[in-house]
Chains A and B, each alone.
Chain A
């Protein structure tokens, strides 16, 4: 089975712009979670989607949003980018909500200038 894939792998944006990141889960996985990873903050949970519905949300501002499509692929959008949004954004897929093994993608490295 192919693993979790994320596109793009690297992205450079400027403050105020918006960005869309994409995640394709492992075939058959219906849960997709997004995380922000920074050196000082570790893995911060953004949100989780299951069957096209957002099931859980972390403590991030409304500038961070996402969605999931019928094929379980997910996108994450960040509007009005700030310097502090520079991070590695990881998505992870699993067969079930929360209590299953999370399979991580390689991440998208976002740099905001």
Chain B
């Protein structure tokens, strides 16, 4: 079945610096890759997603890149701010009635003031 690996498990960056979180997936048929942010004590919320027909997508300070050949995708956060501190989850799924969305194990991002 599909497996999603996420690295690193924890990440600490200086405020204003960039943060990069990487995920790899095993099922080459996967075609939808969302990223969720979960702040302490709150529910996960979608921050950005990408489909396999696109190599990169950007939304203000957040960008996601996808390499279908290597089966990996990454989240990039630029000019990090204290409110970026949270746990980030990547996920992968495919358009199929028998498919299910698989989440990575999460990355705890801390922004140092």
Residues of A that sit less than 8 Å from B by CB: 33, 35, 41-43, 45, 48, 50, 55-56, 58, 90, 97-99, 101-107
- Taking CB atoms, residues of chain B closer than 8 Å to A55 are 97-98, 100
- Tell me whether B78 is interfacial, beta carbon within 8 Å: no
Report the nearest B residue to A57, measured CB to CB: B100
The 5 closest A-B pairs by CB, nearest first: A56-B100, A104-B43, A99-B32, A43-B103, A98-B93
Residue of A nearest to B44 (CB): A104
The residue on B at minimum CB distance from A33 is: B101
Report A99 CB to chain B, min CB distance, Å: 4
Q: Give which listed residue, A41, A50, A99, A106, contacts B93 with CB less than 8 A.
A: A99
Flag if A43 contacts B89 (CB, 8 Å). yes
The number of residue pairs between A and B whose CB atoms lie closer than 8 Å in the complex comes to 63
Determine how close the nearest CB of chain B comes to the CB of A45; give it in whole angstroms: 6
Asked if A98 and B45 make an inter-chain contact with CB atoms under 8 angstroms apart, the answer reads no
Q: Is the CB of A42 within 8 A of B94?
A: no
Complex A-B: 6 CB contacts under 8 Å: A35-B103, A42-B89, A58-B100, A98-B99, A101-B46, A102-B101
The answer on a CB contact under 8 Å between A101 and B99 is no
- Which residues on the A side are within 8 Å of B43 (C-beta)? 90, 104-107
Question: Do A43 and B31 touch across chains, with their CB atoms under 8 A apart?
Answer: no
Complex contacts, A45 vs chain B, CB 8 Å: 100-103
